[in-house]
Structure 1
């Protein structure tokens, strides 16, 4: 029997793009533990990838930028799992983020309003909207987990306006948990990884240099692995984490305490 106790439970994973995605790693962990995983992806192209990676899992398409799509996919999933017969979703993963870097990086104060509002709609509001529209499909003691970043208080130029948006995502956890507490025991938590080697992160200007620096800044001198993030997310989705609510769990291999790493300091002053 699985320690997590997720055998035969149903989880919906939003956000798989390819095999390097955090969403993919989370789904793999859940499947390995005996869970049933339903994928929701942005496009038909990504649906093809999802079906290749998880041939036994249903795949649905939903571009969360349009809220009507969230309502539609909720109805499609509800019909597919048999909500009318009492079936419920045990957990939802929100692994979705978008920022428009097509014009290159600009100073933060030059952030375009339309870019900022699009990013907050896709990266933050979609989590709130999914919670709202899927609330009748969730088990009373279900769990929702989103993917954020290890800190929103470090002003990295190449991450730009996404840090304030992730801060808004973090803040939404407690408000969602509080409002859901009126009618359920659904928990809302976030996994906050340090720098990862994913295809999404590769689109951030200058990311590779930041990634290599982060590897040196961890206590173990070894980069964070996507699987480590996925395992924490799977734990938060499970009943084993029933006492954890409104929390952002940082996974950075100790980088946050290692600002004055001797090796980095030595190279900086030479």
Structure 2
């Protein structure tokens, strides 16, 4: 895949969270590639590899590695591969989230301690762990992105445990932005509107959420994965060199309407 506007030429991006071509992470990877960046991609396991590998080939990814953040050693292995192939890193996209189905669909009061801890570890703390491994490789500064959602700020029916978890993720972005700023590393929480992804399919009445969000958005329509991807790509360029620590909404303006 050739870059059509190589503003990110020479930059190297790790994108975590592609499940298929409807994934937000795929939109980010495609946008980075279109702007000239080199890519490292991950797949959750061997079952997921058959869906992700063709996308990695399409995008001309330099690295494709397995990554389940709950498996000890796999995260470190990804960064070892990046260090060995590239020696440095410029962008990191964290687009993974998980909660056990019974804890996600039973309401927050009924969420088990184990389910809450699992959701927090995979969906939030794994970003902190990635940042710790990525920062030493961002020798010329860089950008880190974590995917949040409106349910971190306001109550969204049926979002359940993921609301508090995403709120923690957004707070983590602010604190990481503060800690990593002196190194020229910028950290962003990206909050897309509801999108038809595999992860969203686990939410009850998600189709209703899509319709309501589109009706509420001042622009009259929802964002898609490429809208999210190009927002991240812009934030990774020098044009956004003084932007860090905030939550960036990519939702057609739906978040401003009560």
Q: Which one is further off, 143-152 or 16-25?
A: 143-152
Match for residue 67 of structure 2 among 62, 71, 74: 62
Who is 1:263 aligned against? none
Preserved CA contact (<8 Å) 1:104 1:205: no
> CA–CA distance in 1 between the matches of 2:47 and 2:85?
22
Using the alignment, how far apart are the partners of 2:103 and 2:246 within structure 1? 35
TM-score, length-scaled by structure 1: 0.87
| Structure 2 residue runs without a partner (length 5+) | none
User: Match of 1:163?
Assistant: 163
**Contact 1:97 / 1:123 at 8 angstroms: preserved in 2?**
yes
Task: Report whether the alignment pairs 1:195 with 2:194.
Answer: yes
1:93–1:145: 8 Å Cα contact kept in structure 2?
Answer: yes
CA contact (8 A) 1:180 1:186 kept: yes
5 Å-filtered alignment, 1:110-149, equals: 110-149=110-149
Larger Rg, first or second structure (1 or 2): 1
Aligned-pair CA distance for 1:157: 2.8
Counterparts of 1:94 and 1:258, CA distance in 2? 27
1 CA distance for matches of 2:194 and 2:165? 17
Residue 80 (structure 1) aligns with: 85
1:29-108 equivalent positions in 2, closer than 5 A: 29-55=31-57, 56-57=60-61, 58-81=63-86, 83=87, 88-102=88-102, 105-108=105-108
How big is the alpha-carbon RMSD for the aligned residues of Structure 1 and Structure 2? 1.9
Shift of 1:103: 6.4
1:139-187: CA deviations, max 9, x gaps? Answer: 33111111111342322231101011001110011221222245x1111
Partners of 1:257 and 1:191 in 2: CA distance? 15
Q: Secondary structure at the match of 1:73?
A: helix
Q: TM-score, normalised by structure 2?
A: 0.91
- Sort the Cα spacing of 1:151 and 1:106 in 2 relative to 1 into closer, same or farther, 3 A: closer
Structure 1 runs (4+) greater than 3 angstroms displaced: 1-4
**Residues 98 and 123 in structure 1, CA contact (< 8 A), matched pair in contact too:** yes
Query: Residues 210 and 181 from structure 1, CA distance in 2 versus in 1: closer, same or farther, beyond 3 angstroms?
Result: closer
Q: For residues 2-21 of structure 1, what are the alpha-carbon distances to aligned partners after superposition, in whole Å with 9 as ceiling and x for unaligned?
A: 76720121111011100000
Deviates more, 1:233-242 or 1:120-129: 233-242
Q: CA deviation at 1:102?
A: 4.0
Is the 1:100–1:115 contact (alpha carbons within 8 Å) kept by the matching residues of 2? yes
- CA distance in structure 2 between the partners assigned to 1:168 and 1:144 by the alignment: 16
1:25 aligns with 27
Q: Is the 8 A contact 1:219 1:253 kept in 2?
A: yes
Q: For the residues of structure 2 that align with 1:167 and 1:97, how far apart are their CA atoms?
A: 13
The question of whether the paired residues in 2 share the 8 Å contact of 1:197 and 1:226 is answered with no
**Matches of 2:219 and 2:188 in 1, distance apart?**
26
Equivalent pairs, count: 253
